[in-house]
Structure 1
């Protein structure tokens, strides 16, 4: 997800230079390679350990991350639009239209059945609520963004269908995410902050408002092209222009909410930095904040603000540096067998039986509980 997010971010910079697109394409290719490699590894895991797929989908922590797989697919489709369409013919535009609707059909099933399993099989306390609870519906948070990007090359007829679909899908994603965020906010008020190694995961809460702001603005900017001027029988003004104005205002409204969640997470991480260590939660630095930056890029372009564009460029540099830093720590952690290793997952027991199970007490090196 994070690598794909960097690729999409680099492909939409307000200020460019020779070679920037090439760097974006490198991240895109790397994203595809990593996606295929990780998919092969997780497939081997499920085949090698019979029944582990079912256990994974029913796990009180791991099951939420099933949605991240589909977010990664959405980002690949997003990058195909950014980097592939300018170099290919109309056939790719039609292919992307088909992929959009096929993807939407699949993630509807994921959102329904994944949450059904969670509601039916697990009783999760609100005191343990985390932004990761949003992940099963996260694909819908990027569907509106994906639709807004595809509309740049889609013809008016299919484009209007994608426009309506994007609004519908984004509505589901934002509403469910908002409900989950209320549980997370309740946890922050009534309980302690997440454990220090898990705090980078607090950035996941940035995504719903950030990507919905992104969707509002990108769909609004494309509305005059794809929305009929007399939609709903309105003839006094072009309806597409109304959508454009509303999309920008709504996007600005939501963007600052995402910034607030990002600031809360940042402060929480900084004050506990000395006690922290690397976990896979550190990838949370990248993807949600990339969405917030892309939304700000859209705002900067709509307002034609050089100052905001400069902030976006600076934020992009910081995110790329964070990606490099987290990637180095991740590789180092794997080599040292501290992450992605049986019994070493930082937030849960391994579904093959390594480590301790939730509710079980652990003993330290002296045999004390």
Structure 2
């Protein structure tokens, strides 16, 4: 998610320089390599322990990260629209086939995101008993595929030459984004209750707290002809965007203070990647606000934040490799939830073998 978000952010910079697009494409290609590699390794894991996949989807912490796979996929589609279509000559040139493919893939993604949000929360509500004192922003991850549906729709629509198809994608993106916002608000309310009533997360996992189109609207849309509906949507979107932008800044500020307070006691964990992914979203939101308000100050802040995020990505990558090299990750007892899931698999396997022997 962090690498894909960084690639997407580099493709939206308000201030560019020669070679920036090439750098963005390199990060995009790296993201594809990482996505395919990690997906293959996860597939091998569950192929070796076939019963573990059910246990994983029911685990009180590991199960939430299933949504991260879909968010990573959405970011790949976003970058494909950003880098791939222009690189092939645009929608009217050699990239026409990719434009059509992205339209189909968007609807497939939207359908899958719907199933993930419904079924995963159903499993969690039906079989798990989670405690407010353990609440983490990761609890929103099953809904996160919808939280990126709006930006994904906006990026894909830019190259769509069919007005009807573009409008349908915009409406779906807004609808999915709305569901994601509501679910995020509900889950963050639980997390906020935890911060007030219980201890804050440990130093090493505190970075996870960071997770905290009008031109496509045709004349006469919804049967309204007395005014330009697209302009109304834009006027309504701006204050809503500013509201959410300030909420994000508040969460980022509070989290930063908590991280800095105990930075010396932190050791690397996978939650460190939350230094990058959610803050890349904040940077992209700042770019959009700067563009709409024609504010060079906001654009400059976004550019500075981008430079900081590149540095944080390099730091997380170096610390991640170091942790694997030192056996702090990918080792028995060192990965959250993995041993629990494996234990469930082993017990189920033993019970199955005992039943066969008794027969």
Task: Note whether the superposition's TM-score is higher than 0.5.
Answer: yes
CA-to-partner distance for each residue in 1:37-57, whole Å, 9 max, x for gaps? 001111111111231111111
Task: Measure, in 2, the Cα distance between the counterparts of 1:97 and 1:35.
Answer: 21
Q: Structure 1 residue 298 and structure 2 residue 288: aligned?
A: yes
Residue in 2 aligned with 1:361? Answer: none
Q: Structure 1 residue 137 and structure 2 residue 151: aligned?
A: no
- TM-superposed CA distance for 1:232, in Å, is 2.4
Does the Cα contact within 8 Å between 1:5 and 1:287 map onto a contact in 2? yes
Residue in 2 aligned with 1:364? Answer: none
- TM-superposed CA distance for 1:346, in Å, is 4.9
* 2:279 counterpart (257, 280, 289): 289
* 1:159 counterpart (140, 160, 166): 166
Residue in 1 aligned with 2:193? Answer: 186
Residue in 1 aligned with 2:354? Answer: none
CA-to-partner distance for each residue in 1:190-245, whole Å, 9 max, x for gaps? 1110122111111111xxxxxxxxxxxxxxxx223x21221222222111111112
Task: Measure, in 1, the Cα distance between the counterparts of 2:227 and 2:219.
Answer: 7
Task: Measure, in 2, the Cα distance between the counterparts of 1:336 and 1:276.
Answer: 16
Correspondence list, 1:283-362, <5 A: 283-346=273-336, 349-353=339-343
- TM-superposed CA distance for 1:85, in Å, is 0.7
Task: Measure, in 2, the Cα distance between the counterparts of 1:32 and 1:169.
Answer: 25
- TM-superposed CA distance for 1:283, in Å, is 0.4
Does the Cα contact within 8 Å between 2:59 and 2:337 map onto a contact in 1? no
Does the Cα contact within 8 Å between 1:300 and 1:309 map onto a contact in 2? yes
Q: Structure 1 residue 223 and structure 2 residue 214: aligned?
A: yes
Task: Measure, in 1, the Cα distance between the counterparts of 2:242 and 2:304.
Answer: 19
Q: How many residue pairs were aligned? A: 337
CA-to-partner distance for each residue in 1:294-352, whole Å, 9 max, x for gaps? 00001111111111111111100000000000000000000111012221125774422
Runs of 4+ in 1 over 3 A off after TM superposition: 346-350
Structure 1: 5+ residue stretches without partners: 206-221, 355-369
Does the Cα contact within 8 Å between 1:126 and 1:183 map onto a contact in 2? yes
Structure 2: 5+ residue stretches without partners: 89-94, 345-359
Does the Cα contact within 8 Å between 1:339 and 1:346 map onto a contact in 2? no
Bigger relative CO (Cα 8 Å, ≥ 6 apart)? 2
Does the Cα contact within 8 Å between 1:133 and 1:180 map onto a contact in 2? yes
TM-score, normalized by length of structure 1? 0.89
SS in 1 for 2:31: helix
277-286 or 339-348: which moved more? 339-348
Task: Measure, in 1, the Cα distance between the counterparts of 2:134 and 2:156.
Answer: 38
Name the Cα RMSD after superposition.
1.3
Does the Cα contact within 8 Å between 2:62 and 2:336 map onto a contact in 1? no
Does the Cα contact within 8 Å between 2:3 and 2:28 map onto a contact in 1? yes
TM-score, normalized by length of structure 2? 0.92
